Amino acid sequence: MFRTEERNTHFRSALGLAELIYFSTVRHVRKSHRNAFIGLANNVMQTVVFVAAFYLMFSVLGLRGNAIRGDFILFLLSGIFLFLTHTKAVGAIFGAVGPTSAMM
């Protein structure tokens, strides 16, 4: 009876999705550490440590120039980002909150 009609445009849907992604990301970062900046720094440092370890390993073993064309760091970054994305996605699925969560 007293409803206001609200048009759902594509732009409004995109903003709603962006808001959901933002709050989900903030909640996930805050779960790892209370301070958001330290949580983000932990994620960045994890990637930097992976890149440094693999670069050192490839350099020591002498595999750096074998059959890899193009920029070697981009080669490493693509593999590391793929691995981290897969690991975090699987971890998010296994660690998903249930229907009794406070967020629900």
The predicted-structure confidence for 53-66, as pLDDT tens digits, reads as follows 988 988 888 776 66
Question: DSSP per residue over the chain, as a string?
Answer: --PPP----HHHHHHHHHHHHHHHHHHHHHHH-SSHHHHHHHHHHHHHHHHHHHHHHHHHHT-TTSS--S-HHHHHHHHHHHHHHHHHHHHHHHT---TTSTT-
Question: When comparing pLDDT for 69 and 13, which is higher?
Answer: 13
Question: When comparing pLDDT for 96 and 1, which is higher?
Answer: 96
Domain boundaries, the chain: 10-94
The predicted-structure confidence for 68-95, as pLDDT tens digits, reads as follows 677 888 888 899 999 999 998 888 788 7
Q: Give the model's confidence band at 67: pLDDT under 50 very low, under 70 low, under 90 confident, else very high.
A: low
For position 1, what pLDDT does the model report? 62
The mean pLDDT of 21-27, rounded to a whole number, is: 84
pTM of the complete model beyond 0.75: no
